[in-house]
Structure 1
Amino acid sequence: MNPARIESRLRELLEAGALAKSTSSQELVSFVAPLLDSGVLAWERSGAGEKLCVRNAETLSSFILDRFPFTELEMEAEISRRVASVGRFRNTKTLRSDTPDIVTVRGWSDMALWHKGKPVVVSEATRKHAIFSFALTPDSRYELRTSCALVENPAVLLGFERFTIQSEIPLAIFAGGRVSHRLLDWLASQTASSLHVHHFPDYDPVGLSEYARLQGRLGDRTSLHLPVNLADYFARFGNKELLRFPATRRLLAKLRSVPIPEVCAVIDLIDRHNAVLEQEALLLRLDDCQGASRPGVA
């Protein structure tokens, strides 16, 4: 059902008093079924066909107002579509959103993120406030000029220093689970030859599926973070329960046909341990023969 089209036809019906049956779609007829049942609207003969007639204009007007509080012309031009969608249809998702993405990063170099040709002082914001955020619009002037991490979960983002790899990866971007289309488009549009996106997801079917999606857009400009001791983390902290969900099993089966070496390597670990690994585990230190190891690094 297209709410905007329904609204337009209802207002036309109210103004004209009738609509030809040939121009009354099935979705419109279904929408006004309560009005037909109550006699507010009725079918009447019109030549060789029928027309939908208004029997009670006041009730029809109330019906329209109840479902479509504001017309398109009554909405303020400067408000976002998400707000307008509530005003017109009582549902934020009816109109396609134009709300900017809020991109949250942490940085340890002021040469990583640039805006309008000038470097952004991300390191100071990270030091003082732990994070830096900006609004990503379709015509955004922000650009990346170095390697970065795309981190799925907030705990790993906030604990990223424990990896001690800031010299190689001086910027971490919060993915928030599934990367938004706009953020992915922005990453794919970057032109700096030094850019490489290191993906830090959960080591489970959802995380691997997301990495495959990144690969599809970024190609060899992205890689999956695979610590050399990842198998040890699986053995010590892998979660068997999370692998038992039917949806997880179905997604895992689909991923077996994905010809990406990193995905295959993690699936091998999942099979070997019959478990998945949440990325927060990498912030824990494993003891090895040389003493306390660094958290999970490549």
Structure 2
Amino acid sequence: MDRTLRTALLKLHGQQTLPASHFTAAQRSALDRFARQTGAVICQRQGRGDVYRVSDPRLFDIHLSALSPQVGMLATDDLPLRAQHIAHARDSKARNHQHECYYPLLKAVGEKVLWRQGEHGSELPLSQLTHHFGAASLRIETGDTWQSGQSLWLVENQALFDRTDWLPVGTQATLLYYGGQLDGRLLAWLGQRPRASRVVLFPDYDGVGLANFARLFAQLGDTCECWLMPDWQSKLADYGSQRLWQDTLREFTSAVPQLPDYLGPLTEQMRQSGLALEQEAVWLPAL
């Protein structure tokens, strides 16, 4: 209710009158209740419709300030977005609260893996940083030009980020840990320009993992790949989980029509067996 009333009062703020048609039904209901309780606003008939008018500006400002402490700060670009939300609504997560920048966790596999921004711009020597510190990060945002000449592998679970002996022999790549769901800012960044020689996603073979790849494939098309671990057929049968399959069935059903044909054998075996498989099975022997 506070959010609805706040939105309505902000619309009315600074206006002599405002037609009722400018408000949603919920906002009109909140304004009518506010008018009855405070007398700071009145609704009047004007022409063929109703209009709302501030009848007691001082009282109106007191109530508006209680809901939105810094009304005059709402359009400023000088403060971080979440700070503006606190000023606007006493809540950093009001409105769109996602930060503009994204900082993925990266590590190099192999030597001489690096990222460049512009032909003569900044360099991130990822192999060197990984050797010294174990991992590194990179600020990515719309409009930057970061690129790598090596492939980029995306993994869902930390175990595969920590220990990289599951990768094909001779891999020279950047490994990026995304923790369950591919962030929309990362997807948009990957889709903006070529970022690596190849983008490879190794997800859990469940509904969530396949849905993530469907989102990536929608951005990159055939320039990305969903990696199938060696002996995946046997491992799905030997180590697959019925519970995981059931828990992510809705995502699986939505994702399958959006996937490339080469994943057909995987999704068909998953459907027929009613099993899903987690990434960490890559280390287990086929029985």
By the TM > 0.5 criterion, same fold? Answer: yes
Where do 1:67-216 residues align within 5 Å? 67-73=67-73, 77-91=77-91, 92-95=93-96, 97-108=98-109, 109-117=111-119, 118-159=122-163, 161-165=164-168, 167-191=170-194, 195-216=197-218
| Structure 2: runs of 5+ lacking an equivalent | none
CA offsets, 1:202-244, max 9 Å, x none? 1012211221222222122111111221123223321111222
Contact 1:39–1:55 (Cα < 8 Å) also in 2? no
Alignment check: 8 A CA contact 1:110 1:119 kept: no
Question: Partner of 2:32 in structure 1?
Answer: 33
Q: Compared with structure 1, are the counterparts of its residues 165 and 228 closer, same or farther at alpha carbon in structure 2 (3 Å cutoff)? A: closer
> Paired residue for 1:60?
60
Q: Percent identity?
A: 18
**Equivalent runs, 1:274-285 vs 2, <5 Å:** 274-282=274-282, 284-285=283-284
Question: What is the distance in 2 between the residues matched to 1:196 and 1:103?
Answer: 17
Q: What is the identity, as a one-letter code, of the residue corresponding to 1:172?
A: L
Measure how far apart 1:181 and its partner are.
2.7
Q: Which amino acid counterpart does residue 26 of structure 1 have in structure 2?
A: T
| 1:105 to partner: Cα distance | 0.8
Change (3 A) 1:53 1:209: closer
Aligned to 1:9: 11
Tell me, yes or no, if the aligned pair for 1:205 and 1:252 is still in contact at 8 Å.
yes
Return the alpha-carbon distance in structure 2 between the equivalents of residues 105 and 250 of structure 1. Answer: 31
Match of 1:292 in 2: none
Aligned to 2:227: 225
- Contact in 2 for aligned 1:125/1:132 (Cα 8 Å): yes
Against the structure 1 CA distance between its residues 212 and 53, is the aligned structure 2 distance closer, same or farther, given a 3 Å change threshold?
closer
- The aligned amino acid for 1:267 is T
What is the CA–CA distance in structure 1 between the aligned matches of 2:177 and 2:14, rounded to whole Å? 47
Aligned length: 279
CA distance in 2, matches of 1:279, 1:229: 13
Spell out, residue by residue over 1:19-68, the C-alpha distance to the aligned partner (whole angstroms, 9 max, x if none). 15456523542342331231422224557765434344343222211221
Does the 8 Å contact 2:12/2:18 carry over to 1?
A: no
Matched with 1:294 is: none
Kindly provide the CA deviation profile for residues 164-201 of structure 1, in whole angstroms up to 9, marking residues without a partner as x.
43732421112233322321222223447x71111111
| Mapped partners of 2:145, 2:167: distance in 1 | 30
AA at the equivalent of 2:181: R
Q: In structure 2, the residue corresponding to 1:101 is in which secondary structure?
A: coil
Instruction: Supply the distance in 1 between the matched residues of 2:279 and 2:72 (Cα, whole angstroms).
Output: 46
Write the distance in 2 (CA, Å) between the matches of 1:77 and 1:275. Answer: 50
Distance 1:31 1:144, change over 3 A: farther
Change beyond 3 A, Cα 1:7–1:136: farther
CA distance 1:252–1:141, shift in 2 (3 Å): closer
| Matching residue's letter, 2:146 | Y
Root-mean-square deviation (CA), in Å?
Answer: 3.0
Following the alignment from structure 1 to structure 2, what is the Cα–Cα distance between the partners of residues 111 and 146?
Answer: 7
User: Superposed, which structure 2 residues align to 1:44-59 within 5 Å?
Assistant: 44-45=44-45, 50-59=50-59
Partner amino acid, structure 2, of 1:202: D
* TM-score (normalizing by structure 1): 0.79
Seen in structure 2, the aligned counterparts of structure 1 residues 150 and 208 have a Cα distance that, compared at 3 Å, is same
Q: Sort the Cα spacing of 1:83 and 1:167 in 2 relative to 1 into closer, same or farther, 3 A.
A: farther
Is 2:239 the partner of 1:237?
A: yes
> Match of 1:253, SS?
helix
